[in-house]
Amino acid sequence: MSWELLRLHAPALLIAVPLVASFAMPILGRTKLSRGIIALGAMALTSCIAIFLSYTVYTSGVLLYVFGAESPALSIPPDSGGIPIRIIFTIDALSAFMTLIVAIVGFSVFLYSMSSDQRHTGLEGYYTLFLMMIAGILGMVNTGDLFNFFVFLEISSLAGAGLVAFRIEKGKAVEGALKFAVLSTMGALLLLFAVGIFYWQYDALNIAAIASRMQFSLLDQIALVMLVAALAMKCGSVPLHFWTPDAYSMAPSSVTAMLVVSSQASLYGLFRVIFTLYGIKLDWVTVGWIVIALGMLSMFVGVTMAIPQKDVKRLMAYHAISQTGYMLLGVGVGIAVLGDPASLQSYGMAAIDGGLFHIFNHAMYKGLLFLTAGAIIYVTGTRDMNAMGGLGHRMKYTMIFFMIGALAIAGIPPFNGFASKLVIYESVYRFSPVLAIIAMLVSILTLASFVKVFHSVFMGPELPEYDTGREVPLPMLLGMGLLAGIVIVIGIFPAPFIDHLVAPAAQALVNQAGYISAVAGGG
């Protein structure tokens, strides 16, 4: 009975647990122990619910949760004129896939933050915002309602901005947070405007309901432009990426790792809008090439801007932009051949597989790299790589974790980044060899950039200023170790991961009819 109840209400609990813990934190989290129990306990519970929910979706198909209704069969009330008026969570394989990412990275960074941020004051506020951001991201990737997506986007963005500003750092962190908040709000307002356009035309806010009525009128095209620009900016795509290095570099490292996932939730939103909301009705070639162009720019500008950086976190932020380019490239190729069944089957689906696989892999290794950067800053007290050196003598575990993350991001076998990049290279090559060659060149530059970080931070003689330095505390190592383990395991066993998790997510993404019929039929 209790399992059945859990299965029935898991989508609501997924949001309720971090939200309730977030609101309880300022009252109950006054001591280090109570704070740790509430934060880590809530995150662990949320991760368990997320994994359970994902398992249910992968084994039983699309899951509907209709807020305020007795059962999913009431997704469209009999007296609503065929429009789903309640808030509905529509959790297909793609949503489950994204939920898994949030669960894994979220738990790792919470574990890590149990030590990394304990030297600061105001931690009850810190965890309040952190849990709120988790709830926001989970809501974004699971909701089937466009207005609800806007609300969750705002929750995650505002909580994220507060967290970026957490350490103040002579105003620099506050400035980074201000840029993040203003641009996020700008994007969210455009998204809201697009939602208004849909509501005016179709009397609906539900994604499936709008998709089933979509005319691709001039207003729909304008709404699409606003949605693409807003979500491309939120995921840090060049040339809308300017806020990313400012915010990523100034946030505490555990927050930065989660900001990566938050950006990927916006990327999910972009793909959901293109495939599920508009689907085959849009001009797939034009939209596909716009997404590819954004991807190519992100890859190249991201990596070339990373190379001359001296701030370790700023360098990694530019690499996060560059890696987003791979995801945009892979899925962009899938969009560009969406209306050509032969090409879609031949290489388009593989390109989408590669793009989605890279989202997962990037969340793991980039999360790991930001956590290693945090460990370095924890010991040295600086982000300036010119002031570092020889840390490998005393921070052996951190160095190993960094090497795993760096080799994975550069696409070196047998780590997970290689597997997803291989799928992207091969499928994109069949679409356009030039794009695939540029993508490989960017990987070489990524490796070069991380060789620089590795040498300047960990290699060389032990520097006198760090003679007393030592390895970071165990919770930080455990957080990094969890992500490093996943990077290795997926690198060695990519086939089952692709077959059972990535391919169903890609199928769910392109299956617009399945998404619509799930809502219309009540799950």
Partner 1 sequence: MLSTTFHTGAGYWNPLVWLGVFLLLLVLAYLFWFRGESGYRREGEQTKPFLSGNRAPARGEMHLRASHLYWGFTEAIRGYYERVVPAHTGVLNDYLLWFLGVMSFILVIMVVIR
The residues that touch partner 1, with contacts defined as CB under 8 A, are 178-179, 182-183, 186-187, 190, 218, 221-222, 224-226, 228-229, 233, 239-240, 242-243, 245-246, 283, 286-287, 290, 301, 304-305, 307-308, 310, 347, 350, 385-386, 388-390, 413-414, 419, 422-423, 426-427, 429-430, 448, 452-453, 455-456, 460-465, 491-496, 498
| Minimum separation from the CB atom of position 90 to partner 1 (A) | 27
Residue type, 133: M
CB closer to partner 1, 179 vs 366: 179
Residue type, 92: D
| Minimum separation from the CB atom of position 334 to partner 1 (A) | 13
| Minimum separation from the CB atom of position 315 to partner 1 (A) | 9
CB closer to partner 1, 68 vs 496: 496
| Minimum separation from the CB atom of position 226 to partner 1 (A) | 7
Q: What number of CA atoms fall less than 13 Å from residue 71's CA on the CB side?
A: 4
| Minimum separation from the CB atom of position 486 to partner 1 (A) | 15
Residues 54 and 100: beta-carbon distance below 8 Å: yes
Smallest Cα–Cα separation from 358: which of 273, 401, 420, 435?
A: 420
CB closer to partner 1, 32 vs 384: 384
CB closer to partner 1, 141 vs 486: 486
Distance, in Å, from the CA atom of 92 to the CA atom of 65, rounded to the nearest integer, reads: 11
Query: What's the maximum distance between 2 C-alpha atoms anywhere in the chain?
Result: 76
| Minimum separation from the CB atom of position 222 to partner 1 (A) | 6
CB closer to partner 1, 85 vs 429: 429
Q: How far from the centroid of its chain's Cα atoms is residue 507's Cα? A: 19
Q: What's the helix, strand, coil split of the chain in %, to 5?
A: 80, 0, 20
If you ran DSSP here, which 8-state letter would residue 71 be given? Answer: S
CB closer to partner 1, 10 vs 498: 498
- For 63, phi then psi, to 5°, come to -115, 130
| Minimum separation from the CB atom of position 150 to partner 1 (A) | 17
Residue ranges of E strands in 70-139: 88-91
CB closer to partner 1, 15 vs 287: 287
Distance, in Å, from the CA atom of 89 to the CA atom of 208, rounded to the nearest integer, reads: 11
CB closer to partner 1, 35 vs 241: 241
If you ran DSSP here, which 8-state letter would residue 87 be given? Answer: -
| Minimum separation from the CB atom of position 218 to partner 1 (A) | 7
Given phi > 0 = left and psi -120 to 50 = alpha, else beta, which region is 476? alpha
Distance, in Å, from the CA atom of 476 to the CA atom of 110, rounded to the nearest integer, reads: 9
Distance (Å) of CA 103 to CA 18, 27, 109, 417: 12, 25, 10, 20
| Minimum separation from the CB atom of position 476 to partner 1 (A) | 23
What DSSP letter does each residue of 168-204 carry, written as one string?
-TTTHHHHHHHHHHHHHHHHHHHHHHHHHHHHHHHS-
CB closer to partner 1, 222 vs 513: 222
| Minimum separation from the CB atom of position 447 to partner 1 (A) | 12
H-type helices in 410-467, by residue range? 416-431, 433-458
Q: Report helix angle 312-336 to 433-458, nearest 10.
A: 160
CB closer to partner 1, 203 vs 465: 465
